[in-house]
A and B are shown apart, each in its own frame.
Chain A
Amino acid sequence: MRPVEDFSNGLFRENPTFRLILGMCPALAVTTAAINGLGMGLATTFVLVCSNTIISLLRKVIPEDIRIPAYIVVISSFVTVVQLVMQGFTPELYGVLGIFVPLIVVNCIILARAEAFAGKYDVVRSAADGLGMGLGFTWALTLLGAAREVIGTGSLSNAYQMFGLPQFSLKIIYGSYDPALITILAPGAFIMLGLMIGLMNLLTKHH
Chain B
Amino acid sequence: MREVMKLGLALLAICAVAGLALGLTYNITLPRIKAQEEAARQRLYRDLLPGADVFKEVTIGSHKYQTGWQHGQRIGVIFTVTGKGYGGDIVIIVGMDPAGRVTGVSILSQSETPGLGSKAAQPPFLRQYAGKSTEELKLRIDGGKIDAVTAATITSRAVTSGVKSAVDQYLHDSEGLK
- Chain A residues with a Cβ under 8 A of chain B: 32-33, 62-63, 65-66, 69-70, 73-74, 77, 80-81, 84-85, 87-89, 91, 152-153, 179, 181, 184-185
Instruction: Tell whether, in the assembled complex, residue A62 and residue B10 are in contact, meaning their CB atoms are under 8 Å apart.
Output: yes
Instruction: Tell whether, in the assembled complex, residue A91 and residue B40 are in contact, meaning their CB atoms are under 8 Å apart.
Output: yes
Q: Which of A63, A66, A80, A89 contacts B32, CB < 8 Å?
A: A89
Q: How many Å lie between the Cα of A62 and that of B7 in the bound state?
A: 9
Which of B21-29, B47-55, B61-69, B140-148 lines the interface with chain A?
A: B21-29
Q: For the complex formed, measure the closest distance between the CB of B128 and the CB atoms of chain A, giving whole angstroms.
A: 19
The digit string for B153-165, where 1 denotes a CB below 8 A from any CB of A, is 0000000000000
**CB-nearest residue of chain B relative to A33?**
B114
Q: How many Å lie between the Cα of A88 and that of B15 in the bound state?
A: 24
Residues of B within 8 A of A81 (CB): 21-22, 25
Q: How many residues of B contact A (CB 8 A)?
A: 22
Residues of B within 8 A of A74 (CB): 14, 18
- Chain B residues with a Cβ under 8 A of chain A: 6-7, 10-11, 14-15, 18, 21-22, 25-26, 28-30, 32-33, 36, 40, 113-116
With A62-B10, A62-B14, A87-B29 in contact, do A80 and B115 touch (Cβ < 8 Å)?
Answer: no
Q: How many Å lie between the Cα of A182 and that of B15 in the bound state?
A: 45
* Among B22, B30, B40: residue with most chain A CB under 10 A: B22
Residues of B within 8 A of A87 (CB): 29, 33, 36
Q: How many Å lie between the Cα of A66 and that of B11 in the bound state?
A: 7
Q: For the complex formed, measure the closest distance between the CB of B81 and the CB atoms of chain A, giving whole angstroms.
A: 23
Q: For the complex formed, measure the closest distance between the CB of B170 and the CB atoms of chain A, giving whole angstroms.
A: 29
Q: List 18 A-B contacts (CB under 8 A).
A: A32-B115, A33-B114, A62-B10, A63-B7, A63-B10, A66-B7, A66-B11, A70-B11, A73-B11, A74-B18, A77-B18, A81-B21, A84-B29, A85-B25, A87-B36, A91-B36, A152-B115, A179-B115
Instruction: Tell whether, in the assembled complex, residue A77 and residue B113 are in contact, meaning their CB atoms are under 8 Å apart.
Output: no
Instruction: Tell whether, in the assembled complex, residue B6 and residue A88 are in contact, meaning their CB atoms are under 8 Å apart.
Output: no
**CB-nearest residue of chain A relative to B113?**
A185
Instruction: Tell whether, in the assembled complex, residue A181 and residue B11 are in contact, meaning their CB atoms are under 8 Å apart.
Output: no
